Amino acid sequence: MSSVTKALDLLSHFSAARAEIGLSQLCRIAKRDKATTYRHLQALEVAGFVEQNPTSKQYRLGPAVLQLAQTREATVPRKASTERPLFDLTETTGETAHVTVLSGTKMFGLAVCDSPRHGTRAIIDIDVFPLHATASGLCALAFGPKGLMDVALADLTSFTTETATTPSALSNTVDAIRQTGFGRAMRSYETEIEGVSAPLFDQTGQFAGAVSVASVATRFTPALEHTIKEHLMIASRDITHNWGGTIPSHIEGLWAKSLTTPHALDSTS
């Protein structure tokens, strides 16, 4: 482990919950020597990555990180950082995958990656994803801001016979998603498409969008669903990470549970 890595690792111990950390305390947390830690903090301080509260002598994150974040935000658009995870997702599942972002009260398509494997495949060509009928939209209703449900209820357009067109039906669907951590749209937008999606989070910890796989219904087996969910988790973690966020632990918990327990949904096949 290089000294650079060790020094950078110190930064990871700062969080909203632990904003200021003293030297000795940091040594305990990071399980490291005091002299070394001190010197690393010095180096981080001259670079502006940490600064010292002059009164308490405790260290906290410095202004340099703001600058870097500004540059990163200005130069690396969200879309670009989804491309690799999306590509991997498509490769491993063999199905078309896409990313949607929540902007205001609408879910917009941000990026798509078509699978070259099958002759028939889902074609994603919509701009705004209906909240009540698509996996991404339902994901937003389940994990996004509260006000979203009212917006969804205002337009319960029926796309297929499976579309939830009553408040109670929609409510039930969303509740089910809150149990599993995965958005599911079973032929509710297009008759031959099964959609599965996982939520994405930004650096504020807020729901920011969804990553989804759209599979042709005829080949959507429980086994495929399981595979898709596994790789959706990976993609979601990846993209969320790229956006500066982390998957909330309760979502991770839901995922873990819904992948290990005998699947209620799968037994319907």
Partner DNA sequence: AACAATGGTTCAATATATGAACCACCAAAA
Partner DNA sequence: TTTTGGTGGTTCATATATTGAACCATTGTT
Binding residues (CB under 7 A) for DNA: these are 1-4, 6, 22-25, 32-36, 38-41, 52, 57-58
Q: How far is the CB of 98 from a copy of itself (least distance, A)?
A: 13
Quick one: three-class SS letters along the chain? CCHHHHHHHHHCCCCCCCCCECHHHHHHHHCCCHHHHHHHHHHHHHCCCEEECCCCCCEEECCHHHHHHHHHHHHCCHHHHHHHHHHHHHHHHCCEEEEEEEECCEEEEEEEECCCCCCCCCCCCCCEECCCCCHHHHHHHHHCCCCHHHHHHCCCCCCCCCCCCCHHHHHHHHHHHHHHCCEEEECCCCCCEEEEEEEEECCCCCEEEEEEEEEEHHHCCHHHHHHHHHHHHHHHHHHHHHCCCCCCHHHHHHHHHHHHCCCCCHHHC
Contact status: 249 vs a copy of itself (CB under 8 A): no
Q: Which two structure tokens, joined as six digits, stand for 250?
A: 């309760």
| Chosen from DNA, a copy of itself, none, partner binding at 84 (C-beta under 5 to 8 Å by type) | a copy of itself
| Shorter beta-carbon distance to DNA: residue 18 or 39 | 39
| Chosen from DNA, a copy of itself, none, partner binding at 32 (C-beta under 5 to 8 Å by type) | DNA
Residues from 43 through 72 that contact a copy of itself (CB under 8 A):
43-49, 51, 54-55, 60-72
| Shorter beta-carbon distance to a copy of itself: residue 99 or 135 | 99
| Chosen from a copy of itself, DNA, none, partner binding at 158 (C-beta under 5 to 8 Å by type) | none
| Chosen from a copy of itself, DNA, none, partner binding at 146 (C-beta under 5 to 8 Å by type) | none
| Chosen from a copy of itself, DNA, none, partner binding at 202 (C-beta under 5 to 8 Å by type) | a copy of itself
User: Among candidates 213, 202, 65, 75, which has minimal Cα distance to 145?
Assistant: 202
| Shorter beta-carbon distance to DNA: residue 2 or 249 | 2
Contact status: 76 vs a copy of itself (CB under 8 A): yes
| Shorter beta-carbon distance to DNA: residue 205 or 222 | 205
Strand duo 193-201 + 50-52: pairing: unpaired
Q: Which of 20, 91, 114, 252 binds a copy of itself (CB under 8 A)?
A: 20
| Shorter beta-carbon distance to DNA: residue 3 or 269 | 3
Contact status: 199 vs a copy of itself (CB under 8 A): no
Contact status: 245 vs a copy of itself (CB under 8 A): yes
